[in-house]
Amino acid sequence: MKAAGAAVSADVWQLFKLNYRNHLKLVVIDGVIGYTGGANLGQEYIDGGRRFPAWRDTNIRLTGRAVAELQKLFALCWFEDKHEDLLEERYLPPAVADGGRSLDGEVLTQLVAHTIEEPWEAGRRAHMIAISQAERSLRIQSPYFVPDKGIYDAMINAALSGVHLQFMMTGCVDKRLPFWAAQTYYEPLLRAGGRIYQYTGGFFHAKTIAVDSEICAVGTMNLDNRSLRLHRELMEWIYDVGVTRQLEAIFDHDLERCREITLDEVRSVGPLKHFRNSCARLFSAEI
């Protein structure tokens, strides 16, 4: 890429940052088209590569004023590394002709991003608020499930209050430790009334949430402690019934390639696997 004239930069190269990771996936084209979601640039994200029969991900394409937020986030990352300012007119979308008033056909969105350098963990807190305020339904997708106490309690509280909570994760293993650790979180959530599914049609990598068929989010943040607290992550929140119901329809379609985890199955796990899973959980940030 450098030979072809592209500017290429590594994000994390300092020794003191090796425990942190830029987990963002975003593309901005001419300041007017943006993409984000779970997919990286790699063959496995197209067809599963050599390890998996298929790859299941969710990404979104943005146009309009929301693209500027993606551009600013990229510009921030670039400036931190290269000290080059990309907030120039040639990179940004054209000014809105009506001075910023709402335009017909626009969908309200909000980019929520966080990094280890800021103290408020905005992505994690946005999930906690959305889950806590759900009244009817929650559909959540994440390949991994090693949540922190705040997210986990919010999910259990929602299920106990009668919210129809469905959580979907991968059933095809790429990393054994988080897959084993996830199983230690199943029983309390199932006992509270939540439902858990493992996607078996390939590796499942989508990171989405839909709340009450009204608001939803698509982005890069997994429900694990590293994504929630240590990585640079983003979620694009969308305040639109039509888009949310479209995302819910995708969730329902994914269910056709899932197997549901039952309470009887969880309780029948043998002592050796139970010990293995508990040991795997020790590697999470929270025991």
Annotated catalytic sites, by residue? 23, 25, 30, 205, 207, 212
CB atoms within 10 A of CB 216: 27
Q: Which helix (H) or strand (E) holds 60?
A: strand 59-63
What are the distances in angstroms from CA 100 to CA 95, 103, 106, 109? Answer: 9, 8, 12, 14
Phi, psi of 280 (to 5 degrees): -60, -35
DSSP letter string, 225-276: HIIIIISBEEEEEEE-HHHHHHHHHHHHHHHTTEEEE-HHHHHT--HHHHHH
Mapped onto helix, strand or coil, the DSSP state of residue 79 is helix
CB 30 within 8 A of CB 228: no
Strands 164-170 and 137-141: parallel
Cα 220 to Cα 235: distance, rounded to the nearest angstrom: 6
